[in-house]
Structure 1
Amino acid sequence: MNFSQSSIRRQAIRIACFGLIGLCAVVSWNGMAENKAPSAQPSAAQIDLCPRPAVGSAVPEPADVRSSHGVLKLDLTIRNVLEKDGSVRYCYMTPSGAESPTLRVHPGDRVELRLKNDLKDIEPDAKANGPIYGPICSATAKPHKVSNPCDSGVMTATSTNLHFHGMTMSPVCHQDDVLKTSIQPSDPVFEYNFVVPKDEPPGLYWYHPHVHGFSSVQVEGGASGALIVEGIERAMPEVAGLPERVLVIRDQDLLNPNAPPNKSEPPQLTKSQVDSDGDAQNNGTGFGKPSKDLSVNFVTVPYPNYEPATIRIKPGQKQLWRVLNSSSVTYLNLALLYQRKPQSIGIVAIDGVPEQKDGKGVIPWVDHIGIPPGSRVEFIMNGPPAGETGLLVTRWVDTGPAGENDPNRALALIKADPQAPELASTLPTAHTPLPAAKLTPLRDVKPVRTRKLFFTEVQSNPNDPNSPTDFYITVEGQKPKLFDPHNGMPNITVHQGDVEDWIIENRSPELHAFHIHQIHFLVMEVDGHPVDEPFLRDTVNVPYYKSTELSYPSVRLRMDFRDPHTVGTFVYHCHLLEHEDGGMMGIVRVLPRGKK
């Protein structure tokens, strides 16, 4: 079940599977939609506040903010603006006007990030709703002036914080706590201050807000940015010297929600369905109205004609593409098409961790790659030859009968151009190999125990088919409960040094994306069948349940709590943020080694 942006605010206030690699289909596109609603055009003042490129623009490179002498210092302000169509745009801005910069650090660097909350109480639906979690947690109540954002726990439409997704950092205030840390517009500038672990794998991570009940609204509005731990050429020497391109793919409410599908699409095999809140559901055809529009580095590719953004590249040039799916609910299944033929791409890393097998780098070459919301992929690609134009596309993802519609669509034209500008960042050619891992490979560690968790969805009012859906992730043996951020009691307790197997079942007719903070895991089995993946993940799909199946779909994950930075209390959840905000989240507490 999916929700519109406005309905998610209401939901918050009341508080198989496309697999590990992806699915195939065909993509078609035409020119820009002719019936684009005038209301979708922002005013000049709005553009100045949170600027966005025009439809069909060249894909801009995000500004780089790099550490210097072992320290990355940065001032960020989070802002929002109400659009004429009722949607709310969010952005991170630097004092120089750069939007959502890419943060570049080295292992061992210190990060000093000063965040100012400049959010306004402009949510169009908020004033019609009541409290979420008591008197200090309503969308209309003015946030109390608190002396310490570290333990305020205030969660309103204007509260915010930062989560550094995928990083192995301590889940404490000023580092990566999202359970209590909450910054209000009335608070002074709040500083995040932490050291990147010296053994943090080099690769692509990201930052975004994580205030329970409002994560989806802020991320869907554009509040996200990439974070790169440098040194990937030390793990995978094949990428040394390559130009690197960062692509952040976001989703947003449809610019043209009332437009019919493009005439070039084949006739629909089933009638287009919408849920009670007006979002397009998966129709099983690979075509039709999507639930959300997508953008590439903020260049929107709107339904129904999907006029693509433009990427210029020198003919045949080899590049490293770092792709982040920072969508709130949209799955990606990326492919490069040259003359309609899929091209091979070499997978270098997934979820920030370069692929390793038997202690050596491994680069599998595939013609498409699935990326759940929150996940990242880094791959080697070769530009089209002179005189040719290619396409970056996302193919249909089968999200299940209760899932949103993620159809085939083009994202960007790839133009071979001898005059294409040089990219801002190129990987070093000189490099020394990373030191050998000190820990036993995760696959070779015997887990101390096995747990089972399961996803479920329940109509809040079984007698009303239009009532909102409650989302649960439950540890077997416990009673399903909606996540309560003020409870504080862990659903799971482990010790630092433990390795466990978690079996995650999906008992719902919708694809879910399991994510856990602070650690990575290894996928051991899918539906009981062993898999041999040479990389670690922090987000993974769990196939949806079909009524004809004799057992629930599942994945077995080997969870790694050996790093000392994992000590503390943090969360796991579905990374479809509407589901997370709707209650599909739990708490794990990692105790120091030997502590009872």
Structure 2
Amino acid sequence: MRNAWSAATFSQGNGMRYQMSKRAFALLFATAQGVPLLGWGCCAAAEDLPTIPQPPLLKATGAASVKPKQGTLQLQNLMTLPGQFKLEPETPQTVNMELEIRYLDGFINNPSEGKGKGDHVQLRGYREWCDASRQKCAGTDGKAWTQTFVAPLIDAKPGQTVRVTLHNNLPPDPSCVSQGGSANTPHCFNGTNLHTHGLWVNPAGNSDNVLISILPQVAFQYEYNIPQEHPAGTYWYHTHLHGSTALQVSSGMAGALIIRGDRQPQAGDGEKGHGDLDTLLKPSDDGQFQESTLVFQQIQYACRDKDGQVKTDSDGRYLCAADDVGKIESYDLFGPGKWEKSGRYTSINGVIMGALPEATVGRVQRWRMIHGGVRDTIALELRLRRPHPARDIAGLTAEGSQDYVAQECTGDPLPLTLVAADGQTMGQAMAKTRVVFQPGYRWDALMVFPQEGDYCLINRVKSSNVDRVAPYTRLLGIVHANQAAAGRMDASPAAIERHLKAQLIKAARKNYPREVASLVVADLEQGMKLTRFVPHADILPSEVTGQQTLTFNIDTSVKGEAFFQVDGKPYDGSRMDRVLPLGGVDEWTLTSDFVSHPFHIHVNPFQIVKILDPQNRDISGPKMQRGMDEDDDQYVGLKGVWKDTLWIKNLYSGDSKSGMTPQKGKYTFIVRTRYERYIGDFVLHCHILDHEDQGMMQNVRIALPDSKGKPTSGHH
């Protein structure tokens, strides 16, 4: 792998070679289906890097879900995935992980400071426990810790139990016990808990419970029982204690969580046994469908002077001297425009502006991509870099990155063919040359590189973004594509689509019995449809049993103050904002009165019905419409798609110079969701995490219903 800005070379057992600065980076691999997950750390020696344990794959014996009987209220789950299967004898029933949370010392590459220069940082982070049975471990009493600023991969199967033990070894924090003042003032920076973002699991007890506090010097074990019907897909986990979520996630306390499925689609009508996309996209001996998981993070550390002020240059870009230690200890680092102005760089699996896994011309890769950041927009493009000698990117500043892309990354944009949103397989593959990630988003994309060379992975942010800054462009990394024996292929989007479709059809015929393969192939031939892999049945209007409305707002009526609200109220931990019946089906209307916010709700995903722009046009259809806002391409093709996080847009920014009112800039989002299987309390919130910490959140309770479907309370 070529990497002109690296200083050391490491080898992996699969024959691939990686280059990076020994001081700034470490290389961490997690094998998934025999394919490496790239997890690049910061500071350990290569020989000390362990492999994250992976559970073996399971095999499923599919049976269709049972349809509810008529007449009485039915509360069983309505998933359409085949749910009855057994774990193979060699497959462990549990996936166990132990994580310590403490301050970690290391180095983060800062390209602005020159080639190989890393800033010394001290950040709260996860360290994985590894026992003496693993050869790479060493230390007192046979135990040691590994270190990285991106959390390790959790890899599991439907039907397994995932146990994660957190040891909070951060120093005591008095604000966790007696904070005083508003609960929506950031506090308890050393308390923690854990959220499995997007998982359909129990929100109560020691499962996906974000309403508990794990205080310093306390250990707690989470237990996630993954239901047999759980969709396979790309999820993630991160800290979620109200008051410190943004600060801890920005420190790197986030990681990928992959649910892998072996359930093949079943023959018959569309209501019977949809399968897991993993069974179609099996990595093959000829190199097709090899997989990479990419976690995007924004670690916004700063160095401060003796008065506690952030050190900056004349342009406001953050500075750290050789003897400084970068930290994240205050919420003054978060706010509109601060990420872009800081000059910090988005990292991918812990590496800043590094080399991504190599590709081969014509071979299909599956990229699992996760926005694990706090409050910025990422808009990915891939373009072929001009032939060597290209300019060295060592010493490239954030500002210089835009010029570099304009001069060096001059190829036509490469299609990213999206097949899953937020872990949920889409009904039809969708090719885009610019893929927008708002905080919390995940996209699975199939990649085909049509010719040999280096490709620039670019973040091209347009006008509608989280930080409300002017459009800008950054280089995120480089992908090198090796020449295939067959030579280069036609690089046109149409040719790439034909090639991808042919590979998918070939895989279907190879992986499925003839009757099933014929159904999957017929769908693929009709516009690359994936209807046999969508994990949920569409929610029809006739199913809807209730209506919900939600409006985000930031109250700026008091000079110098901002109050973050949902439905006109800041978060109150003692207030239950919504009580909803198990088995109910709601249609939600989502809006924002002031700027834009990513809506996220725990436990149950939702299906997008329509997205109306300020002119009342539905912009979620398959094509851009004349007169649409340039950034509304992020909504094209989302009608009918299942998600758990959605960007609720409003062009109104409160700037009197714009001449705009909230209503003139307001978008309206209609989604539907089912409340299945689980009762308990959880939250919905804005996924700009400093907004959540300051009050843009609500409590939600799913309760057992009475015979008429209305929620009940305890009878005492």
TM value normalised by structure 1: 0.71
Question: Residues 584 and 675 of structure 2 are in contact (CA less than 8 Å); yes or no, is this contact kept in structure 1?
Answer: yes
Match of 1:385 in 2: 451
For 1:351, the aligned partner's letter is: D
Match of 1:258 in 2: 313
Question: Residues 466 and 596 of structure 2 are in contact (CA less than 8 Å); yes or no, is this contact kept in structure 1?
Answer: no
Deviates more, 1:77-86 or 1:113-122: 77-86
Aligned mate of 2:695, from 554, 579, 583: 583
- How far apart are residue 344 of structure 1 and its match? 1.1
Aligned mate of 2:581, from 479, 483, 495: 495
How many positions carry a matched residue from both structures? 484
- How far apart are residue 343 of structure 1 and its match? 0.8
Aligned mate of 1:504, from 573, 590, 609: 590
Aligned mate of 1:371, from 418, 433, 437: 437
Match of 2:358 in 1: 312
State the distance in 2 between where 1:341 and 1:98 align: 39
- How far apart are residue 545 of structure 1 and its match? 3.3
Match of 1:70 in 2: 93
Aligned mate of 2:213, from 182, 187, 195: 182
State the distance in 1 between where 2:463 and 2:93 align: 45
Question: Is 1:454 aligned to 2:567, yes or no?
Answer: no
Aligned mate of 2:221, from 168, 175, 191: 191
Alpha carbon RMSD of aligned pairs, Å?
Answer: 4.1
Show the 5 A alignment for 1:82-97. Answer: 88-96=122-130, 97=146
- How far apart are residue 235 of structure 1 and its match? 3.4
State the distance in 2 between where 1:137 and 1:524 align: 33
Match of 1:53 in 2: 42
Q: Does the C-alpha gap of structure 1 residues 498 and 288 become closer, same or farther in structure 2, counting only changes over 3 Å? A: closer
Aligned mate of 2:250, from 215, 220, 230: 220
Q: Does the C-alpha gap of structure 1 residues 119 and 369 become closer, same or farther in structure 2, counting only changes over 3 Å? A: same
For 2:352, the aligned partner's letter is: T
- How far apart are residue 557 of structure 1 and its match? 3.3
Question: The residue matched to 1:343 in structure 2 has which SS?
Answer: coil
Question: The residue matched to 2:248 in structure 1 has which SS?
Answer: helix
State the distance in 1 between where 2:95 and 2:423 align: 19
Question: Residues 112 and 192 of structure 1 are in contact (CA less than 8 Å); yes or no, is this contact kept in structure 2?
Answer: yes
Question: The residue matched to 2:341 in structure 1 has which SS?
Answer: coil
Tell me which of the two structures has the higher relative contact order, counting C-alpha pairs closer than 8 angstroms and 6 or more residues apart: 1
- How far apart are residue 198 of structure 1 and its match? 1.3
Q: Structure 1: 5+ residue runs without aligned partners?
A: 1-29, 33-41, 140-154, 263-275, 302-307, 357-361, 420-426, 475-479
For 1:167, the aligned partner's letter is: L
Question: Residues 117 and 160 of structure 1 are in contact (CA less than 8 Å); yes or no, is this contact kept in structure 2?
Answer: yes
Question: The residue matched to 1:442 in structure 2 has which SS?
Answer: coil
- How far apart are residue 98 of structure 1 and its match? 6.2
- How far apart are residue 177 of structure 1 and its match? 0.9
Match of 1:143 in 2: none
Question: Is 1:108 aligned to 2:159, yes or no?
Answer: yes
Show the 5 A alignment for 1:8-47. Answer: none
For 1:540, the aligned partner's letter is: L
Question: Is 1:351 aligned to 2:351, yes or no?
Answer: no
Deviates more, 1:530-539 or 1:215-224: 530-539
- How far apart are residue 199 of structure 1 and its match? 1.4
Question: Residues 61 and 246 of structure 1 are in contact (CA less than 8 Å); yes or no, is this contact kept in structure 2?
Answer: no
Match of 1:35 in 2: none
Show the 5 A alignment for 1:425-440. Answer: 430=511, 440=537
State the distance in 2 between where 1:47 and 1:259 align: 33
Deviates more, 1:404-413 or 1:156-165: 404-413
- Structure with higher Rg: it is 2
- How far apart are residue 313 of structure 1 and its match? 2.5
Q: Does the C-alpha gap of structure 1 residues 525 and 436 become closer, same or farther in structure 2, counting only changes over 3 Å? A: closer
State the distance in 1 between where 2:461 and 2:183 align: 42
State the distance in 2 between where 1:352 and 1:584 align: 25
Match of 1:249 in 2: 296
Aligned mate of 2:564, from 447, 454, 471: 471
State the distance in 2 between where 1:393 and 1:46 align: 21
Question: Is 1:296 aligned to 2:348, yes or no?
Answer: yes
Question: Residues 506 and 544 of structure 1 are in contact (CA less than 8 Å); yes or no, is this contact kept in structure 2?
Answer: yes
Question: The residue matched to 2:224 in structure 1 has which SS?
Answer: strand
Match of 2:372 in 1: 326
Question: Residues 184 and 695 of structure 2 are in contact (CA less than 8 Å); yes or no, is this contact kept in structure 1?
Answer: no
State the distance in 2 between where 1:225 and 1:564 align: 26
Q: Does the C-alpha gap of structure 1 residues 102 and 257 become closer, same or farther in structure 2, counting only changes over 3 Å? A: farther
Question: Residues 175 and 194 of structure 1 are in contact (CA less than 8 Å); yes or no, is this contact kept in structure 2?
Answer: yes
CA deviation vs aligned residue, 1:446-497 (integer Å, no higher than 9, x gap) = 42232321111123x823x3x4x221111xxxxx222122x1x221121111
Question: Residues 330 and 406 of structure 1 are in contact (CA less than 8 Å); yes or no, is this contact kept in structure 2?
Answer: no
For 1:211, the aligned partner's letter is: L
Aligned mate of 1:338, from 357, 381, 384: 384
Point out the structure with the larger helix share.
2
- How far apart are residue 503 of structure 1 and its match? 1.3
Question: Residues 523 and 555 of structure 1 are in contact (CA less than 8 Å); yes or no, is this contact kept in structure 2?
Answer: no
Question: Residues 40 and 349 of structure 2 are in contact (CA less than 8 Å); yes or no, is this contact kept in structure 1?
Answer: no
State the distance in 2 between where 1:492 and 1:545 align: 28
CA deviation vs aligned residue, 1:109-133 (integer Å, no higher than 9, x gap) = 11122221122359xxx99x99535
Q: Structure 2: 5+ residue runs without aligned partners?
A: 7-20, 28-38, 57-90, 108-118, 131-145, 265-274, 284-288, 303-310, 318-330, 386-410, 485-506, 517-530, 622-638, 653-658
Question: Is 1:517 aligned to 2:598, yes or no?
Answer: no
CA deviation vs aligned residue, 1:271-309 (integer Å, no higher than 9, x gap) = xxxxx95768459xxx973675310111124xxxxxx54
For 2:473, the aligned partner's letter is: N
Q: Does the C-alpha gap of structure 1 residues 494 and 293 become closer, same or farther in structure 2, counting only changes over 3 Å? A: same
